[in-house]
Homo-oligomer: A and B are copies of this chain.
Amino acid sequence: MRALCMPQGLSPIELTKLEALICSARSVQRGEALYRSGDRFDNIYAVRSGSMKTVMAHRDGREQVTGLRLAGEALGLDGIGEDVHACSAVALEDSTVCIVPYPALKSLCREIGSMQDRLHKLLGEQIVREAGQMMVLGSLSADERVAAFLLDVSERNARRGYSSAEFNLRMTREDMGSYLGMTLETVSRTLSRFQKRGLVDTQGKHIRIVDLEGLQKV
């Protein structure tokens, strides 16, 4: 659990302090929201098991998936800016999260320099990740977007010690499409074409990457 909740580089002492901080865990049913856009920001979360999506809504009701969080990844940073969550976080499958109260985390960051660094990195990485996604949405073709997405998930799986070649993606085609700025039909067609070209092997939500290099060259 330690490894899952706050994976990177803290000393044992720091981990103990952090563990004291994590008051509780919570389980979230598939489709249920851990928090909603507009909710007061109290906690940062770490996905312990399962996976979640973050969703942002335009005033006219249109929704866009802004992120995917796999087990081990942080969640909730969208609340720091305005003391209120800017996105909603919805479970893609039955999941559990660790709860890290933000005020306590802030104090800890003032006590322990490496904890401060860790939080800053978390925030900074999120900024870079999102800038990368802006690049995907703004500059890549549909094929390139889907390929980039599969490679991203693959790499994140690898980092968590799972297979980079084969995984279950609990998002629907619609979620993927929303995240990638295209329709669910285009996602489906693109995956079918990739399959014909021998790049991937998809059966619904189960995805196997057959030709990694080929996918990188798309």
Instruction: Indicate with 1 or 0, residue by residue over A125-140, a CB within 8 angstroms of chain B CB atoms.
Output: 1111011111101111
Interchain CB contact under 8 A, B64 and A127? no
CB distance from A109 to the nearest CB of B (A): 7
Contact at A128–B78, with CB atoms within 8 Å?
yes
A17 in the interface (beta carbon within 8 A): no
Q: How far is the CB of A11 from chain B (nearest CB, A)?
A: 17
Query: Interface code A73-117, partner B: CB below 8 Å = 1, 0 otherwise?
Result: 000011111100011000000000000000000100110010011
Contact A139:B181 (CB < 8 A) given known A80-B123, A123-B127: yes
- Asked if A135 and B80 sit within 8 Å, CB to CB, the answer is no
Contact of A120 among B56, B123, B126, B133 (CB under 8 A): B123
Known: A109-B116, A123-B120. A138 touches B80 (CB 8 A): no
Contacts of A132 in B (CB 8 A): 56, 86
Q: What's the dominant secondary structure at chain A's contact region?
A: helix
With A56-B132, A116-B106, A135-B56 as known contacts, state yes or no: A121 contacts B80, CB within 8 Å: yes
Q: Are A64 and B139 interface neighbours, CB within 8 A?
A: yes
Looking across the interface, which residue of chain B has its beta carbon closest to that of A148? Answer: B58
Q: Does A179 contact B (CB under 8 A)?
A: yes
The answer to whether the Cβ of A196 comes within 8 Å of any Cβ in the partner chain is no
> Is B128's CB under 8 angstroms from A82's CB?
yes
Q: How far is the CA of A181 from the CA of B116 in the complex (A)?
A: 35
Residues in chain A within 8 A of chain B (CB atoms) = 54, 56, 58, 62-64, 66-67, 77-82, 86-87, 106, 109-110, 113, 116-117, 120-121, 123-128, 130-135, 137-140, 178-181
